[in-house]
Amino acid sequence: MPLRPYIVGNWKMHGTRAMLSEARAIDRAAQRHMKVEVAIAPPYTLIHPVHREAEQIAVGAQDCHHEEGGAHTGDISAAMIADAGGKFVILGHSERRQNHKEADAQIKLKADAALTAGLRVILCCGESEKTRDDGNAVAHVKKQLKASLPQFSDNPEDVVEKLTVAYEPIWAIGTGKTATIDDIGDMHAEIRALLIKVYGEEHGSEVRILYGGSVKPENAGEILSTPEVGGALVGGASLTADSFMGIALAAGESEEG
Ligand code: PEP
């Protein structure tokens, strides 16, 4: 059975308790749009407050450490996220890769730790503008993804039921630029082929592949109707219930065909 479109908000380093009212409004709206699965990843400090109040949406984190605990000042483990009510974690976001020099091998360790803690994982990949201009986008994204997929279990079923991939061209994040529909479709087809190669036809077809990069209510309908686009990872437009749920609504409509 095809999975519902998955619309995930990445609040990045935005949000104090004053923003809980937006989370509540998103949750209320999500209860009216059950054809779409809606989730938000606020800063760590808001995971538990959102979890306590939300009835419909899932709450998750934007990163985790790969170890369960220890002398890692300032870090948070996957088990701590789960303890706070988090249900998933975004890993390998390009801002983590750039600002914290995270490499594929480290992201793979984090993904394994997250699955071990019972979290779902949204694994991000994407190319820079230069890589795309040089004609190397597909090769780059496939290499990045292959090197960061979790090992967790030899049984693909254990991994794919908790795994989502997000394709986010770096040059489209927060810039207002989006990839063309053809480029999105081509990249998602390549990612699907890779997932099938790794996990087999049955399981590799089950993983949702999200698109991320300046998704807004105005462009969501077209992007979300593209083959192999199973939802969206949304930054800026997820900060208000109005714009975020505008995207969820478009996702529901694209489902109806
Ligand atoms: C993101 O940060 O994952 C993202 C897609 O941001 P934006 O929607 O603002 O481009």
pLDDT digits (tens, 9 = 90+) for 228-249: 999 999 999 999 999 999 999 9
In the chain, beta strands by DSSP E: 6-10, 37-41, 58-61, 88-91, 120-125, 163-167, 208-212, 231-234
Lookup: tokens for 210: 């999200």
What distance in Å separates the CA atoms of residue 136 and residue 100, rounded to the nearest whole number?
24
Q: What is the DSSP string of 48-96?
A: HHHHHH-SSSEEEES--BSSSSSS-TT--BHHHHHHTT--EEEES-HHH
pLDDT band at 256 (very low <50, low <70, confident <90, very high): low
Is 33 among the residues known to form the active site? no
Asked if residue 1 has pLDDT above 70, the reply is no
Pocket flag, ligand 1, residue 125 (CB < 6 Å): no
What lies within 8 Å, CB to CB, of 215 at 6+ separation is 178, 223, 232, 233, 234, 237, 247
What does the block give as tokens for 118?
């019972």
Q: What is the pLDDT of residues 84-102, one digit of tens each?
A: 999 999 999 999 999 999 9
Q: Is residue 228 part of a domain?
A: yes
User: Does residue 157 have a pLDDT over 80?
Assistant: yes
CA atoms of 212 and 98, how far apart (whole Å): 17
Mean pLDDT across 136-164: 94
CA dist 257 and 254 (Å) reads: 5
- 93 belongs to the catalytic site: yes
Based on the structure, what is the number of domains in the chain? 1
Domain boundaries, position 16: 6-82+97-163+171-256
**pLDDT value, residue 152:** 79
Q: What is the pLDDT of residue 211?
A: 98
Are 57 and 86 contacting, i.e. CB atoms less than 8 angstroms apart?
Answer: no
222: domain CATH number is 3.20.20.70
Residue 255: is its pLDDT beyond 80?
no
> Which residue reads 């908790």 in tokens?
162
Q: Which of 65, 66, 93, 188 is catalytic?
A: 93
Gap from CA of 154 to ligand 1 centroid (Å): 33
What pLDDT, on a 0 to 100 scale, did the predictor assign at position 74?
96
In a domain, residue 179? The reply is yes
Residue 91 lies in a domain: no
Q: Is 200 a pocket residue for ligand 1 (Cβ < 6 Å)?
A: no
How far away, in angstroms, is 173 Cα from ligand 1 center?
A: 5
pLDDT at 253: 85
- Residue 12 has which token pair? 């990045």
Whether 173 lines ligand 1, by a CB cut-off of 6 Å, is yes
Amino acid (1-letter code) at residue 157: E
Please state, for a pLDDT cut of 70, what percent of the chain lies above it.
99
Does residue 90 fall inside a structural domain?
Answer: no
Dump pLDDT digits (tens) for 179-222: 999 999 999 999 999 999 999 999 999 999 999 999 999 999 99
| Residue 236 near ligand 1, beta carbon < 6 Å | yes
* Pocket of ligand 1 contains residue 212 by CB under 6 Å: yes
Average model confidence (pLDDT) for the chain? 96
pLDDT tens digits for range 20-47: 999 999 999 999 999 999 999 999 999 9
User: In the prediction, which pLDDT does 254 show?
Assistant: 76
70 CA distance to ligand 1 middle (Å): 31
- Token pair 């036809």 is found at 201
Q: Once rounded to an integer, what is the mean pLDDT over residues 143-172?
A: 94
Predicted pLDDT at 257:
57
Residues 22, 102, 168, 228: which is the catalytic one? 168
Summarize the confidence of residues 161-169 as an average pLDDT: 97
In a domain, 48, yes or no: yes
The closest residue, in CA terms, to atom 7 on ligand 1 is: 235
Q: Is the dihedral of CA 244, 246, 247, 249 positive or negative?
A: positive
Is 177 inside any structural domain?
Answer: yes
CA 214–ligand 1 middle distance (angstroms) = 6
Question: Is 105 inside a domain boundary?
Answer: yes
Q: Is residue 89 included in any domain, yes or no?
A: no
Ligand 1 pocket member 29 (CB < 6 A): no
Instruction: List, in sequence order, every residue forming a beta bridge with 9; answer none if it has no partner.
Output: 40, 234
What's the predicted TM-score (pTM) here?
A: 0.97
Position 3 pLDDT exceeds 90? no
